[in-house]
Chains A and B, each alone.
Chain A
Amino acid sequence: MNARGLTTDVLLGIVPIALAVALWQAISSFGYAPVTLLPPPGLVFARLAQQLLTGTFQQAIGVTLFRLFAGFSIAVVLGVGFGLAAAASPAVNAVVRPVVRVLAPLPKVALYPALLLLLGFGHESKITLVAADALFPILLSTYYGASMVEQKLIWSAMAAGTPRRQIMFKVVLPAAVPSILTGCRIGLVISCIVVFLAEMITSTEGLGHLLVTAARTFQAVDMFVPLITISLLGLILNGLLQGLRAWLLRGFPEV
């Protein structure tokens, strides 16, 4: 029953995607849109497959992935660190809370020109922007996860003789892991989006740059390819994170 329900779900989910592709195909094959504006899906995917095998395209993916991971890792380290510190210490909390309140709703893309002027057009400015954007969801969910830890758990650990310094790493951090991972997932998707945008604005390499070059020369096919690639990358990274989550939380009651 359950397996059958699952298959129906999958089948049902394919329908709108198939419909979208069919509509796309229909629009281009019935001539409603010229190929220069909307290339047929077959052409786009053939081009994608062809591009994936070329060295320059792989290099672009590599550059984008490097920036994405560098920024995301910085965001995870800072976000988890500050989140835990803010949950544990009232003094840190008093400083972090208002600063986050001000910085979190600030549109970080607007800071990008300043980052460009300060850090140059290379990796640094992009990595900083990715880190700045991914930081806050991770920080906030760490903070909420750590401050929601049941007091009883901490008391029992203390009663069992755990030193105060170790409670952070032995009780609070593990208990906050589900929430931290949720934040990481949001941060990861944001990283994907932001790294692409930053490369679109000013860059000499990377997937976003490929899109802009294609747009400048009106190569519609080549505009779709980097977009599909970043979407695929996002899905793959998301899947990996889900796998990591399942492995990390294998003992937890609900995942």
Chain B
Amino acid sequence: MTMVRTLISRLAPLLACLGLLGIWQVAALVLNTDSFPTALEALRAVPSILGDKESLINIGASLRRMAIAFSVALVVSIPLGLMMGRSRLVASFFNPLLMITYPVPKAALMPIIMLWLGVGDIAKMLVIFLGVSLPVIYHSLQGAKAVEEKMLWSGAAMGLSAPQRMIRIVLPAALPEILTGCRTGLVLALITMVTSEMIARQSGAGNILFNSLDMGQYDTVYAMIIIIGAMGIGIDAAFEKLRARLVRWSEPGFDLPLSFA
């Protein structure tokens, strides 16, 4: 009985995917317009995109930019967030600046950054970096703030220096919260990646998507939507697995993404 139940809960997301595709199929058949192909037609166009070398290079370039920008953002944001969570001085120094920049659409900076850095990789990676940083900083801050004082006192009593306490007590204790932030950041990285490539049409998955929209190749548009959507779902699921493994000791149960912004 329990095995059946776990099987069903494992398969549920898959069933949901199939259900959504089914709704799409029915809706397309009912509406029956040129600009809205059925799910099957769109799925049929997927292999031709994935088989095309040019598109593969484009998608690969997107993923590479995203990976680099995401890693750099983590390296910068996690220490900053932890320090903000532990030191009131650091927190009040950076807080207002972050508050002002929070509602700025990061991808909207693209046209301005393009003026300075050109349309190349650096401009796009900078935009992704900015988009990822804020949620990671915020969640690291929350995690570091919630660390029990007593643990830090015991660490200090046992002769750990302040930087050692940071790495050996605060970082692991805040890890579940940090990883929540990373998950949010990952989704945002994907969103910013697509938008930045849409604005600077030079290479990448977003470029294929919006160029085919402009050229009226609707099959390609919907196939690209499926591919990008699958990328999002796949990356999220993979990260969730990694997260569950890393923080097995913390309370389980958050199998849904808690927030993403």
Partner-B contacts on A (CB < 8 A): 8-10, 12-17, 20, 33, 37-38, 94, 97-111, 113-114, 116-118, 136-137, 140-141, 143-144, 183, 186-187, 189-190, 192-194, 196-197, 200-201, 208, 211-212, 215, 218, 220, 223-224, 227, 230-231, 233-235, 237-238
Checking B94, B206, B261 against A189 with a beta-carbon cut-off of 8 angstroms, the contacting residue is: B261
Given A37-B116, A105-B233, A110-B224, A189 and B102 contact (CB-CB distance below 8 Å): yes
A217 to chain B, nearest CB (A): 11
B106 to chain A, nearest CB (A): 8
The contact sample of 30 A-B pairs, CB cut-off 8 A, is A10-B92, A13-B93, A13-B95, A15-B93, A20-B97, A37-B115, A98-B15, A99-B20, A101-B12, A104-B187, A105-B186, A105-B237, A105-B260, A106-B232, A107-B229, A109-B191, A117-B221, A136-B257, A143-B256, A183-B259, A194-B105, A197-B105, A200-B107, A200-B199, A211-B108, A220-B112, A227-B108, A227-B109, A230-B103, A234-B104
Q: Which of B183-241 contact A (CB under 8 A)?
A: 186-187, 190-191, 194-195, 198-199, 206, 209-210, 213, 218, 221-222, 224-225, 228-229, 232-233, 235-237
A92 to chain B, nearest CB (A): 14
| Residues of B contacting A116 in the complex (Cβ-Cβ under 8 angstroms) | 213
B contacts with A: majority SS: helix
Let me know if B60 is at the binding interface, CB within 8 A: no
B258 touches A105 (CB 8 A): no
Bound: A61/B15 CA distance, A: 42
Bound: A193/B261 CA distance, A: 10
Checking A100, A114, A136, A234 against B221 with a beta-carbon cut-off of 8 angstroms, the contacting residue is: A114
Checking B93, B103, B198, B229 against A233 with a beta-carbon cut-off of 8 angstroms, the contacting residue is: B103
Interface size class of B (residues with CB under 8 A): 35 or more
| Residues of B contacting A105 in the complex (Cβ-Cβ under 8 angstroms) | 186-187, 232-233, 235-237, 257, 260
Q: Which of B80-108 contact A (CB under 8 A)?
A: 88-89, 92-97, 99-108
Given A114-B221, A117-B221, A238-B103, A107 and B261 contact (CB-CB distance below 8 Å): no
B92 to chain A, nearest CB (A): 4
Bound: A104/B35 CA distance, A: 25
A215 touches B111 (CB 8 A): yes
Given A13-B93, A105-B236, A106-B233, A136 and B260 contact (CB-CB distance below 8 Å): yes
